[in-house]
Amino acid sequence: GENVEQHPSTLSVQEGDSAVIKCTYSDSASNYFPWYKQELGKGPQLIIDIRSNVGEKKDQRIAVTLNKTAKHFSLHITETQPEDSAVYFCAALYTGTASKLTFGTGTRLQVTL
């Protein structure tokens, strides 16, 4: 089955700096890669996703890049703000036969003033 590894497990940045979180996946058939933000006591909130036919996607301060050859994808947050502090999860899915998301272990991002 699919295995997703995520790094780093914790990340501390100063407000205004950029943050990068990286994930690798094992199943070359995976073709959909969402990123979720989870605040304490809440469910995961979808923040951005990318499909395998696209190399990069951007939404305001958030961008995701995908390297299918290397089987890794990354989340980039620019101009970080204190409200970006949360746990971020990457996930992978093969849309052909499976509907289950396989998640990474999460990155706790802390944005300090």
105 is a site residue for other proteins (CB under 8 A): yes
12 is a site residue for other proteins (CB under 8 A): no
Which of 77, 106, 109, 111 contacts other proteins by CB under 8 A? 106
Least Å distance, CB 98 to other proteins, is 7
51 is a site residue for other proteins (CB under 8 A): yes
Distances in Å between the Cα of 27 and the Cα atoms of 5, 12, 51, 54, 70 are 12, 30, 14, 17, 11
Q: Is 25 exposed, middle or buried (0-12, 13-18, 19+ CB in 10 A)?
A: buried
Closer CB to other proteins, residue 27 or residue 49?
49
At position 106, the amino acid (one-letter code) is G
Least Å distance, CB 14 to other proteins, is 25
Between residue 18 and residue 37, which ones bind other proteins under the rule CB under 8 A?
A: 32, 34, 36
Go through the chain and tell me how many residues it has. 113
Between CA 42 and CA 98 the distance in angstroms is 26
Q: Strand, coil or helix: what is 95?
A: coil
Residues that bind other proteins (CB under 8 A): 4, 6, 32, 34, 36, 41-46, 49, 51, 89, 91, 93, 95, 98-106
